Structure 1
């Protein structure tokens, strides 16, 4: 009895560690998270390999899936795509071993995010669609995340109407959302309305004649992040919404408005300049290279700031 009680406490302590890390994942710099994530992963897998108590296996596989997913995101932030995708697959296997459909669906969403960020929208759409089929009976925010992930991947592929339908599906799922255990874990596992508006903005930015909708969604996302509690304020997604807003402003020929939108992003410290943030900034920088901006001082200055920013990514800290 004493041994079992001690083992149970140890598993509960691991759960507390994983929960605390999940809630730090969106707002803390990856350089502060990487070491604790590795240590927690080692402890969880050590318990999984050595715990003789069968009733602990379900919980330990869940914890292994959670921490593997968080480590995948950390590797992605540092632009280590091969390691990130390997860990995302590990998260899926752990979820499968635990028999947890929500985490299986979330792991597919993570793979979709990695593929999308890597410039592979066809693969991203396939992962999101697979996850959505797994999540068909899920009530939590993971279902909205997968629909939004599918929408922006389809938009990048030029499939305008399917992308709009996927966004409508995400909105419907949000209206019927009921918190589940992934949402209760919080952080990276909770798809907030602010993140949903960012994904919608990114989707509309890729669709013809939808610039106004993109601006509306990006502005809404930024406003929600400004009002959010610290543990829900994802600097990466907030920066993404600002990059979308800046991109639309550049396309409209307003470099000064783009500069205003990007001000807080340009002020991010080096550990928060993740791969996704850098990709969003690169899209704006590419748009500023249009010939119509050759003789526009505001455009030239902003382009130089983005180029300077691009030379100092978070990945440089781990080299």
Structure 2
């Protein structure tokens, strides 16, 4: 079931939070939703979930706004604010209330507690929870209706390494079954590991919408790291061939815009023994910061 935004716009007085945004989220893949603080991500997700109305444009699930879905809880599950839980309800009662509202039985509650690793905390109140436990309960709530679409806003916040690995594995498992998954995160390293596609926005406008592989190819740079005791000899050969390079250490060069086989072949021709020949790609985080620098609203200064 596809999510589509077309000309999506939201204004608050004289401020435009989302500005003519169009994109699609396909089933069977994990789509990462990126943007700096204030980019309009949360506003977009709230319009998707029918919590606020667009000023213009539309965002639909399977071709219909969420308000027109016959069984919303069985179509889309969402985690926007993990702490949005009644403080006096136990984890079990919290899920049971949502299950009743969606016309689901108690068996589904037990299954979701087990899935989220909260069976031992079923009778605990949320005020006894860590942030990671809140996230697990929020995801259990989102999955109650066994929805085709899952929308997660910063689901990794507060999770320990095991929890992050579990969340990543769960998203992959759901996507492999044809579910549509849209999730936001400021953890670029995790986004690079988890996402198949990326949607990047800034100032409410679309910056990029592509597969992760295409994004990396278009927006990141690579260098060839070569380490050898004959650094100066190799540097002369590279210079004679018109190749750009930078000395990093007494035995190491970074060669820009080159293929490792080309550098290795040149070294072999010169009779140079190499100790290391590696391609290094800059991280996704660096590409993201460079791409969104002009639309970052909140930027601190180093002391």
Task: Indicate whether the TM-score tops 0.5.
Answer: no
Richer in helix (by share):
1
TM-score, scaled to structure 1: 0.30
TM-score, scaled to structure 2: 0.32
Richer in strand (by share):
2
